[in-house]
Copies of this chain bind each other. A is one copy, B any other.
Amino acid sequence: MGSARDMAYDIHAMPTATRPTPEAFVPEGDRLSARTEALLDRADSLCVKRGVRMTALRRQVMGLMLESSHPLRAYDLLEQLQARHAGAAPPTVYRALDFLLEHGLAHKIERLSSFVPCVHVLDHSHDHDGDCAHATQFLICRTCARVTELEDGGIVRAIALASRGSGFHVQHSTIEIEGLCAECLASGTNESASLPPQ
């Protein structure tokens, strides 16, 4: 036994390191990038640390988001999930998403009714670990539809200051900034990615 929850559910619930020869078990189209596998494993150990369960289903949904270059809608995830998970239905996806959102492993982009994996909890040294209450902001490119997650102290402070000025106690902020990303600005590619207007 390699870890606290190995052999649970199926191979997709296992950190890569504990698998015999992963490729042999992974059905066509399911190979995940090394980065995704690494991030999934980080998410996984974060869950262990918190005493919650990163099940196969949740890991799969997280994996789908990590492999995508842009936010995915619930029904996008559902469709992809169904390829390997016949019985998947809307609640299947929404429940997995609820878990991931609750534990700060993913975020909902309200403007797009879409979801992205959280890179700050997972990536490098941002060890929030037991605490998932980080304040994030999102840059949404209207041309390429990519979303970048920020954790900008200046924005957080400005919001705290303005709220305090109104006697308001902040619990959560939704900050979604739309426009053109550096790459699209540079390449002059201004066709919209069919985002909602305003």
Question: Which residues of A are in contact with B by a Cβ distance under 8 Å?
Answer: 101-102, 110-111, 137, 139, 141-142, 148, 150, 152, 154-155, 157-159, 161-163, 166-182, 185, 197-198
In the complex, the answer to whether B142 meets A166 with C-beta atoms within 8 Å is no
In the complex, the answer to whether A161 meets B169 with C-beta atoms within 8 Å is no
Q: Chain B residues with Cβ under 8 A from A157's Cβ?
A: 158
Contact A155-B162, Cβ < 8 Å, known A142-B171, A168-B139, A177-B173: yes
Q: Chain B residues with Cβ under 8 A from A148's Cβ?
A: 166, 168
- In addition to A110-B176, A111-B174, A148-B168, 12 A-B residue pairs with Cβ atoms within 8 Å of each other are A102-B198, A110-B110, A137-B159, A141-B168, A154-B161, A155-B159, A166-B182, A170-B179, A172-B177, A173-B175, A174-B175, A174-B177
Q: Chain B residues with Cβ under 8 A from A168's Cβ?
A: 139, 141, 148, 177, 179-182
Q: How far is the CA of A187 from the CA of B96 in the complex (A)?
A: 37
